[in-house]
Amino acid sequence: MTQIYQRVPEPPAATHAFVIGCGRFPALGDAATRQSTVAGARAVVRYLLDHQDELTAPLASIECLLSDPDSDAGADQLDIGKFANDPRADDGVSAATRANVEAAGMAWLSRCRPGDTMFFYMSSHGVAEADLSASGLLEDVLSNRFNQWDASLNIANLATNLPVIGAGACWVFLDACQELVESVLDEYDGLSGVVLVKASIKKITATRVRSLALAGSRFGQLAWGPDSRDPPYFTQALLRSFEACVDRDSNGAWVVTGERLLCNVPKVADAAFGYSTLDVEALAKFANQATLVTVQNARIPVVVRTDNLADMAYLTQIEASDGLTSIKSAPLQTNCFLEVAPTGTEFEARPTFSGAQAYRPAKFHANPCAQIVRLLP
């Protein structure tokens, strides 16, 4: 079963999602096993379900494929609890194989009506080609000895071509490496993996919509995730950015925008989690200017640091005040985290140290999408 959510009747303008998490790769060996990739896909599905009516175009359908290394092939489960509008008879989901991606991708694309929103997320291993294309690997990669890399999905192609089907907005996210693999680079005609949408140059140039497409790694570099069953670092930052990368819309509501997401996910990662080295790269030449979701209680992450990291061990508390409200936080490892509403208000962060360290209060403005505050002696 590939479809895990179906709303009937569909909203007038709807979001159709396709989510892939692949962490089981029989031909790559045990070293390639990743629980975090499947955890990322589950977290994204949970987010879509939890915010189905806050999405700018309410959720209408989800296609989902999981290859969970903790399950036997053919026994994958979604495992996020029960929810409404689930058309399945049980909790089973189909694996992230080439055949299933082609079938689920066709079903996903076929649901798009003019003006609908298309949402795509994939977490897996990934490779890059010489033309800078990024591809996510599927469970049965290397299993075809005559075409070893055919079980891959070209994400850069999807990001470029997806808008031509008539969508009003397109969101494409890849949490995977863009690793340079010699046998991939040696393919003289490129990878012949899955291409979900083919489009002519004329169609692309005639289409005003562009995808907001982000990868959690740069060309030629690696993506990272925890060894635990938590989502990869880019996915964690992305989901937090769906709350923090906001602007006011014409009605005064906080909405997540493609423009904010394009440049600010790394800063959110740093301020919210201390992931200061997260690499994020755009996979499409231009960015989606649409809005993704309305945030009822927008909060931006704030991290307070000293240039001498050793002094952070003596920091016992930060109190941030705008003159009306006060927020206190205890330190977490080498970072001290706060959350504030993104109102632009000026705050003063006042540190409390144990020992002889002395740092002055620091001011910051609560502007989206995150704030990194450095204390000075």
Question: Residue 222: which of 284, 182, 180, 265 has the closest Cα?
Answer: 180
**What is the rounded radius of gyration, in angstroms, for the C-alpha atoms of the chain?**
22
- Residue 266: the pLDDT is 97
For every residue of 53-77, DSSP letters joined together read TTBSS-EEEEEEEEE-TTS-TT--B
**Exposed (0-12), middle (13-18) or buried (19+): which is 88, by Cβ within 10 Å?**
middle
**Structure confidence at residue 228 (pLDDT):** 81
Question: Could you tell me the pTM of the whole model?
Answer: 0.95
Q: How far is CA 322 from CA 206, 302, 350, in A?
A: 49, 14, 11
> Residue 357: its pLDDT value, please?
72
- 3 state SS of 185: helix
Run means of pLDDT, 10 residues per run, the chain, 377 residues: 92 96 93 92 98 98 97 93 95 97 97 97 92 90 86 94 96 94 72 88 91 95 88 97 96 95 96 92 84 96 88 86 84 72 94 82 96 93
In single-letter form, the type of residue at position 32 comes to A
Q: Coil, strand, or helix at residue 105?
A: helix
Instruction: State residue 279's pLDDT score.
Output: 92
Give the list of residues 6+ apart from residue 162 with CB closer than 8 angstroms, or none.
118, 120, 170, 172, 196, 197, 211
User: What pLDDT is attached to residue 330?
Assistant: 62
pLDDT in the model for residue 334: 58
- The string of DSSP letters for 135-151 reads EEE-TTTT--TTSTT-S
pLDDT for position 189: 66
Give the pLDDT of residue 73: 87
